Structure 1
């Protein structure tokens, strides 16, 4: 659309780079008039502002994001961001370390749930072996 702001355009580039075209295309395809403003908000703010900042790497942002989402119990978002680590450079070992912090600072139940999600998602995309995932 012609009225996209520079921040929206930057956000869309970053969002696609991190989450992948298939995910972003699916989100946009599901967008309705009801949630269009929300999609613009997250594209401009989360992706155009925060994820586009130069201060830390995308790998580090992935680790922080996964830890925060796990601590808050946002399981679907944890899964999405674990899958996105294939694009951000965060390794399974990085994810493990982020979730170890969750265990201490946000609680073992939150970390336990997030470890299960991470194992399942990493196994789906072949980033851990069957034995490592417990499947």
Structure 2
């Protein structure tokens, strides 16, 4: 488990101050009590022992505070660590994070991290990216710094470059501070981006979306072309995340954005089409809850219900 350098430094400094004080008292005792009666000498020793005993619980308290902050910082799933100066709210959020984790059984550790990245991106929570929290995010085998970065690439198609710029900056700063190795992945292969992107759309949404840009008003055809070329041809076609993982991330991201019912329902259906069943989608929603609040959570559940309706 990593440490908080600033907190550790403060704790160490306090310990050194206490030891320094005791040494000075020893010197004072030797000067004051030399040639004095034993009662004076014994009283001075008792004073020193009491001071030393007082130092022990103080250091323990500081270490305990440090451990609590470190635990919050290192649990990427919980937003509690974002509130180091608000113990009451932190306690509520810690309890909620434990409760939802107990209910999110139908999701793997890797998938849970993908969902957490969606929550951070959808809420624009740049503060979530610290070195300690990033190390906790990638601490288990099966989810790397490159995977976390890939989630931000995927998010850019939905939140826009204006919102993702700050997230990328905070993420890369945390990567640099953590010392983790994180080479960027190569770009998606070029070629016919529109055809490749549309093939991916068809895999998720069915034959009805084939050559979708040819349908509907002609003056809005460009956005349908770009959905195939850019959103799917440039982002979905990138290496690193599977189709099912990208759809799970996208559903979770849209749920985090809130109030995008048509897109949320469409991607709930796409998740079902690629094998992410109702149980997995609901597990993702439970994971999102501490980050996105109850209205957006209820909207996501409604989308899952509609997608699963016969």
CA RMSD of aligned residues (A): 1.9
- In the alignment, which residue of structure 1 is the partner of 2:198? 12
Alignment of 1:42-121 (within 5 A): 42-72=227-257, 73-121=259-307
| TM-score between both structures, scaled by the size of structure 1 | 0.78
**Unpaired segments of 5 or more residues in structure 2?**
1-190
Cα deviation for residue 10 of structure 1 reads 0.5
Structure 1 residues 67 and 47, CA gap change in structure 2 (3 angstroms): same
Judge conservation of contact 2:254–2:264 (CA < 8 Å) in 1. yes
Per-residue displacement from partner, 1:6-37 (whole Å, max 9, x unpaired)? 00010111111111112x15954642221111
Cα distance in 1, alignment partners of residues 214 and 304 from structure 2: 26
Per-residue displacement from partner, 1:19-76 (whole Å, max 9, x unpaired)? 1112x15954642221111111111111112112221111111111111111222111
| TM-score between both structures, scaled by the size of structure 2 | 0.36
Structure number with the bigger relative contact order (C-alpha 8 A, sep ≥ 6) is 1
Cα distance in 2, alignment partners of residues 25 and 56 from structure 1: 23
SS at match of 1:55: coil
